[in-house]
Structure 1
Amino acid sequence: MVAITRLREALSVAEGDPELVRSQVQAFGRQIPLLYFILIVNTMAVTFTHLHSAPAWMSIYIPGALCTLCVVRCMRWWRGRNLVLTHEKAVPELRRLIWVAGIFGIAFTTWSLMLLPYGTPYEQAHVAFYMATTVVGCVFCLMHLRVAALLLLSIVILSFATFLVFTGSPVFIAMAVDMTLIGLALAFIIELYYRSFAGVVHTQRDLQASQEKTQRLSDENFRLASIDSLTDLPNRRSFFASLRALSEQALATGGGFNVGLIDLDGFKQVNDIYGHASGDLVLQEVGVRLLALAEPGIFFARLGGDEFGVLAQNRQSNDALLELGQRICDALSQPYRVAGNIAELSGTIGWAAFPDAGNTVTQVFERADAALYVGKEGRRGTAVIFSTEHETRIRRSSLVTQELRHAELESELFLEFQPISDVVTRRTIGLEALGRWHNPRLGAVKPEEFIRIAERTEIILRITEVLLHKALAEVPHWPAELYLSFNLSAIDISTSARARRLIDIVSASGVPPHRVSFEITETAVTRDFEQARSALTMIKQAGCRVSLDDFGTGYSSLSYVHRLPFDSIKIDRSFMTDVDSNSASKKIVKSVLDLCKNLGLECVVEGLETSSQAEVVKALGARAVQGYLFSPPMRSGAVSGYLQSAFAQSQANDAAS
């Protein structure tokens, strides 16, 4: 049974092995010219020796027809020699080749047997020699087609050996036995060769499959290494690789390109209010919107967090950059649906040109970042192009940073104090400590300038320590009913350990904690809401007061007020500029005052500069106020004199009333 199965396999086409079938057809195609050359040359030689001993139809017409068929087959091969067959076409072609081999074998063998009786013993021996050499040559040409080779070998050996045996001649019988043994040996060789050939094909197939798998893994690893998995945009690595390639090309050709940095405005609030999962959905939508804006020469990437990059590969004019930037900003400012709600975000873009703004990757990236920073400061939701003004800012910032790193903070930092007063009684109820820095090289540096840089470099931690120690040292010199208001940065409450450090400083000073009020801006709170809440709760539990500064300038202010342990809220000075003439500003101030009253919070109105403004906020229900109307910030040495003067004034007002 096993032998029958193997025989059946040996005589069938391997349809289930496409690669082997295609390889058989391709390998045989390379042997076709030699195969037909052997047939034609050997047949013409036999024809020549039998021209005078056999009839013309036997010695000329039949071999001529057979040779013509060989030429036709050879021409057919020539026309299709470069075709690459699919598996569906290779199987029928292989079957046709087997049939052709069988038909040709029968035709040439029949003609040879018919020709054998003619002529002298030498001519008969030539026919036998013709059959032997031709079949061996053809079989070797058909080695890749096992079925065709075995079929041809069987037709020739069996028919010729049978014919020789029936002649009864001992010589012919011996030749028949010899041919049969040789045929069996050839069949064995064919089988061995075919197995080796199939093994090589399978090995190559497995090797190719392994290489393809390795290539797929390599491609996937490259994709993972180059594509941001959340947004499907190229990642930071891919962005900088493209940036380096463009810079090299631009330096070599004298061309240029533009680099843009995009930052989302308000994204932090989405994370804090709706959670990081919703934030991820927003980032995915941003990726979709940026991909929709991509076009030849415009390349977007996600650099990390809510920061994205864009490369304009061809040098753009400023107008074209602003137009492209505006399209990007408009797309990013469309509403986002998050957790069943609508979130409003915007995007700010900073542009820098290579090599105009910088002739290295680092320089042009820093210039784009500088332009972005300018946009984030005062032009959110727009595109800003790097200019010489920004270059001046960068140099100034670098200089301030270096001086700040090496400053003698204990001697260079000092405080000014601005009173917080009761607008009704005109009595002072507290003083806000305001940090100042005078550097030997730079002179007086504006607080908004050095504080911003200090926060970026975390030098702010040391500055806070120095200033808090100095401020607490002044409190014992004030009347016991006055409190100290002290400003904190986001870095100061970024960890529980840093919040504990503030509490320890207050405890070590001997100042009662209830006389210390720490102010924190809404922007600082929204950096990491949960951590901010934890840190402020620690400060509140230690007995200190907590105040929300600059209320009304950030995002979703009302959503934070009831979730954080505030004691007071300070209305931002921007609402005071026209509170005595603008009904909208008046309504906003009134709403905040009512909110604080309902929540049991103190409300401080800052930025008062005129008596008219003071009268309006007083009429609206305000008590605690602050501003130049009452006093500008003063050095610590002037506080005592101010307090005495203010007390005398309040006594005079009381007497007059």
Structure 2
Amino acid sequence: MRSRLSVRSFFAPRSAELARSQFEAFSRQIPLLYFILSVNTASLAFTHRHVAPRLLAVYLPCLLCALCMVRIISWRRRQRRLTDPEITQRLRASIFMTFFIGSGFTIWSLSLFPYGDAYVRGHVAFYMAFTVIGCIFCLMHLRAAALLLTALVIVPFTAFFAMSGNPVLIAIAVNVLLVSLAMVTILLIYYRDFNSLIESKKSLVDKRDEMQRLSDENFKLANLDSLTLLPNRRRFFADIETLLASSALSGHSFAVGVLDLDGFKQINDLYGHGVGDAVLTETGKRLTGLARPDVAFARLGGDEFGMIIPCARDREGLLQLAEAICHSLALPYIRPKATVRLSGSLGLAIYPDAGSHAEQLLERADYALYFAKQHRRGGTVVFSAEHATQLRKVALVEQELRQADLDSEMSLAFQPIVDTTQRRIVAFEALARWHNPTLGMVDPATFIDIAERCGLINLLTEVLLRKALAFARACPPDIRIAFNLSTLDITSKGALARIIGITQTSGVAPHRIDFEVTETAIINDFDQAREALYALKALGVQISLDDFGTGFSSLSRVHQLPLDKIKIDRSFVTNIEAGQHGRAIVRSIANLCVNLNVACVVEGVETQAQLGILRSLGCDLMQGYFFQRPVSADQALGLLENGIAAFAPAPAESAPAAAESDALA
């Protein structure tokens, strides 16, 4: 069996690459082989035309030459690229043809030897020797055929002339045999080197292909998001730069969009990151299903996706597409363990109206997204001239905030929290105020939001907390101080450590301090927020959950927090006189507080009627304009001395009502 395999491997190419290379080289030389055969055959037939029978001297040579011409034409007419199996078949056919043609020419030439004189018979020996040498050279790329031809010609040639008894012919036979053996040796060496060359070439090609594959893979990893299989942020910016270059020449407009999943953080917290990743993967599939040649999507990071629309001349069509995207993302995400619902908000910026470079377009699309999440959650906002004005205002406020002397420009206003049963002030909530020399009084909702977005909120918190605790030291020991913490205050360990340090060195008894956090701050990173609140609780301070009912928090999460108070948001109080719905909500929250053994504080009380309804629902602790608008520290101390007369409304402060809601929320 092994010998059969070795013989087969000797006569058959070792690989498809070797077979193709043999075939290509062989194809170029095979016409020359038949040309040599035809010329030499015609020459030998010519010298025997008068001495040999016409069958041997005319008809057979003509038939053999015609066969050679047919083979030449057959090889010359090959045009299309053959497959590997076809090449193998042609090579095998060539070996068979070598056997038949070699046998035919050998028999024919030896049949002519008896005719003519010594010169004519010598021509036969000359013909066979030089023809076989020429053919061996032509067949050198097809080793099996060359060796077969050598055996078919040289063995009969040597035996025939060795038995002739003529010393000259015997010498010629020996000479041709030795030369043929030398040529066979050269043939084998050449074939080995040829094979090695092909193998080396194949190895180089394989290495090149592997390098190309690795390069393609690296390009894919560098430009593709592995989870959603969408282009990543790098590719997104590269595509925008390409569009900018082409649009600068053509004058065409295009749109850049930023898409964010509303409520994705809660899904991660409630169901785990496995479900969150599955939602992101499904989102990628939905966006891919909406992609067209004129719409491309990318994942920018987290639950944020990017969109490029190369042609944005049809504004109505653009909005229809945006609506289809938001509708697709609002469909339920059905998972084995849960059916998840969320929405997607989309901000769009159109070149060149919204900006002239990639960073500017993305910044303004992001601002439009922020506006959508604030005012059209689950919808689309296109960046407009009005947004540009707002953005310039935000940039101006941010610039002034970065350069501000916070200690001198920042101050606090204090709004009392009243125990309506005892008809006295029990605490003050500290509310941030900023008077800038350039801008004047700045709305707290504006500068606090900007401080959070630009990373200044932690520094702002530290400055205001020191001022709040200084006020607390001036108050009687039974008066508490409530101070709001932002999301970044409780999710940054460094900021939390500084807050704890300020509290410990303030000289204010910890039990007099209430740290207030909003539902939104907790939802953004529940685990980190809970850990931070427990760290604060360990100081001896109290923890209040502010704006309860507006942050969509899970009641199953509320009982996991170290809460001492829950503050009912003003939105539930505004229309409490008009119907039962608001009353039912307030009653439910008040009952929840009783069940959780925490205090309940109602915000936004503005009328005597609201006060009466809230008292009937079991609420005692309240704050709002009905009792007192926010006042300065000196006025607040005066309120402690004089009290709030008959719960009558106090004179209005110049700050707008919307600004009184929170200190740092």
Please state which band the TM-score falls in when normalised by the shorter chain. over 0.9
Say whether 1:210 aligns with 2:207.
Answer: yes
Deviation at 1:178, TM superposition (A): 1.1
Say whether 1:31 aligns with 2:29.
Answer: yes
Give the Cα separation in 2 of the matches to 1:252 and 1:129.
Answer: 77
Give the Cα separation in 1 of the matches to 2:336 and 2:114.
Answer: 99
Deviation at 1:170, TM superposition (A): 1.4
Give the Cα separation in 1 of the matches to 2:647 and 2:196.
Answer: 107
Give the Cα separation in 2 of the matches to 1:172 and 1:347.
Answer: 98
The corresponding residue for 1:655 is none
Counterpart of 2:197, as a letter, is: V
**Correspondence for 2:127 among 126, 130, 140:** 130
Is the Cα contact below 8 Å between 1:427 and 1:650 reproduced in 2? no
The count of aligned residue pairs is: 648
Is the Cα contact below 8 Å between 2:523 and 2:553 reproduced in 1? no
Say whether 1:118 aligns with 2:111.
Answer: no
CA deviation profile, 1:185-241 (whole Å, cap 9, x unmatched): 121111111111111111112222222222222222222222212222221122122
- Range that drifts further, 639-648 or 155-164: 639-648
**Correspondence for 1:241 among 217, 238, 247:** 238
Q: Secondary structure at the match of 2:258?
A: strand
The corresponding residue for 1:515 is 512
Q: Secondary structure at the match of 2:242?
A: helix
Give the Cα separation in 2 of the matches to 1:351 and 1:532.
Answer: 33
The alpha-carbon distance between structure 1 residues 339 and 400, as it changes in their structure 2 partners (threshold 3 A), is farther
CA deviation profile, 1:117-152 (whole Å, cap 9, x unmatched): 223333322232222221111110100111111111
Counterpart of 1:624, as a letter, is: L
Q: What is the Cα-based RMSD across aligned positions, in Å?
A: 2.1
Is the Cα contact below 8 Å between 2:432 and 2:464 reproduced in 1? yes
**Correspondence for 1:574 among 571, 575, 582:** 571
Deviation at 1:385, TM superposition (A): 0.7
- Range that drifts further, 31-40 or 41-50: 41-50
Deviation at 1:51, TM superposition (A): 2.5
The corresponding residue for 1:13 is 12
The corresponding residue for 2:661 is none
Counterpart of 1:175, as a letter, is: I
CA deviation profile, 1:329-378 (whole Å, cap 9, x unmatched): 12222223457233322111111112221111111111111111111222
The alpha-carbon distance between structure 1 residues 478 and 7, as it changes in their structure 2 partners (threshold 3 A), is closer
Give the Cα separation in 2 of the matches to 1:172 and 1:341.
Answer: 98
Q: Secondary structure at the match of 2:543?
A: strand
Q: 1:37-116 counterparts in 2 under 5 A?
A: 37-86=35-84, 88-116=85-113
- Range that drifts further, 69-78 or 504-513: 504-513
**Correspondence for 1:412 among 409, 413, 427:** 409
Give the Cα separation in 2 of the matches to 1:7 and 1:343.
Answer: 66
Counterpart of 2:11, as a letter, is: S
The alpha-carbon distance between structure 1 residues 486 and 138, as it changes in their structure 2 partners (threshold 3 A), is same
The corresponding residue for 1:485 is 482
- Range that drifts further, 497-506 or 397-406: 497-506
**Correspondence for 2:553 among 549, 552, 556:** 556
Q: 1:277-292 counterparts in 2 under 5 A?
A: 277-292=274-289
Give the Cα separation in 2 of the matches to 1:28 and 1:117.
Answer: 36
Q: 1:257-296 counterparts in 2 under 5 A?
A: 257-296=254-293
Q: 1:185-196 counterparts in 2 under 5 A?
A: 185-196=182-193
Give the Cα separation in 1 of the matches to 2:645 and 2:392.
Answer: 49
The corresponding residue for 2:539 is 542
The corresponding residue for 1:320 is 317
**Correspondence for 1:144 among 136, 141, 144:** 141
Give the Cα separation in 1 of the matches to 2:117 and 2:611.
Answer: 141
- Range that drifts further, 76-85 or 25-34: 76-85
CA deviation profile, 1:533-592 (whole Å, cap 9, x unmatched): 111112112111110111111122423320111111111111122111132222111111
Give the Cα separation in 2 of the matches to 1:26 and 1:648.
Answer: 109
Counterpart of 2:224, as a letter, is: I
Deviation at 1:424, TM superposition (A): 4.1
The alpha-carbon distance between structure 1 residues 339 and 401, as it changes in their structure 2 partners (threshold 3 A), is farther
Give the Cα separation in 1 of the matches to 2:628 and 2:6.
Answer: 111
**Correspondence for 1:176 among 173, 176, 195:** 173
TM-score (norm 1): 0.94
The corresponding residue for 2:663 is none
CA deviation profile, 1:455-482 (whole Å, cap 9, x unmatched): 1222112211221121222223334332
Q: 1:226-237 counterparts in 2 under 5 A?
A: 226-237=223-234
Counterpart of 2:125, as a letter, is: A
Say whether 1:586 aligns with 2:574.
Answer: no
- Divergent runs of 4+, >6 A: 4-7
Give the Cα separation in 2 of the matches to 1:650 and 1:60.
Answer: 138
The corresponding residue for 1:308 is 305
Q: Secondary structure at the match of 2:643?
A: helix
CA deviation profile, 1:499-520 (whole Å, cap 9, x unmatched): 3322332332222211111111
Give the Cα separation in 2 of the matches to 1:583 and 1:650.
Answer: 25
**Correspondence for 1:463 among 443, 460, 477:** 460
Deviation at 1:413, TM superposition (A): 0.7
Deviation at 1:90, TM superposition (A): 2.5
The corresponding residue for 1:379 is 376
Q: Secondary structure at the match of 1:592?
A: helix
Q: 1:341-490 counterparts in 2 under 5 A?
A: 341-490=338-487
Give the Cα separation in 2 of the matches to 1:405 and 1:248.
Answer: 35
**Correspondence for 1:638 among 635, 640, 656:** 635
Give the Cα separation in 1 of the matches to 2:161 and 2:168.
Answer: 9
CA deviation profile, 1:219-275 (whole Å, cap 9, x unmatched): 222222222122222211221222222222222332232111111111111222223
The corresponding residue for 2:327 is 330
Counterpart of 1:74, as a letter, is: I
Deviation at 1:97, TM superposition (A): 0.6
Deviation at 1:416, TM superposition (A): 1.0
Q: Secondary structure at the match of 1:326?
A: helix
Q: Secondary structure at the match of 1:308?
A: strand
Give the Cα separation in 2 of the matches to 1:96 and 1:255.
Answer: 63
The alpha-carbon distance between structure 1 residues 302 and 473, as it changes in their structure 2 partners (threshold 3 A), is same
Counterpart of 1:286, as a letter, is: T
Say whether 1:223 aligns with 2:207.
Answer: no
- Range that drifts further, 613-622 or 542-551: 613-622
Is the Cα contact below 8 Å between 2:627 and 2:644 reproduced in 1? no
Percent identity, aligned pairs only? 49
CA deviation profile, 1:280-307 (whole Å, cap 9, x unmatched): 2222222222222222222111111111
The corresponding residue for 2:251 is 254
The alpha-carbon distance between structure 1 residues 7 and 590, as it changes in their structure 2 partners (threshold 3 A), is closer
- Range that drifts further, 494-503 or 590-599: 494-503
The alpha-carbon distance between structure 1 residues 650 and 323, as it changes in their structure 2 partners (threshold 3 A), is closer
**Correspondence for 1:299 among 296, 303, 312:** 296
Deviation at 1:114, TM superposition (A): 1.6
Counterpart of 2:382, as a letter, is: I
Is the Cα contact below 8 Å between 2:262 and 2:342 reproduced in 1? yes
Q: Secondary structure at the match of 2:517?
A: strand
Counterpart of 2:12, as a letter, is: V
Give the Cα separation in 1 of the matches to 2:309 and 2:440.
Answer: 42
Gaps of 5+ in 1: 652-657
Give the Cα separation in 1 of the matches to 2:638 and 2:338.
Answer: 55
- Range that drifts further, 511-520 or 210-219: 210-219
Deviation at 1:6, TM superposition (A): 10
TM-score (norm 2): 0.93
Deviation at 1:491, TM superposition (A): 1.5
Give the Cα separation in 2 of the matches to 1:152 and 1:46.
Answer: 19
Give the Cα separation in 1 of the matches to 2:457 and 2:336.
Answer: 37
- Range that drifts further, 178-187 or 334-343: 334-343
Give the Cα separation in 2 of the matches to 1:175 and 1:338.
Answer: 90
Q: Secondary structure at the match of 2:154?
A: helix
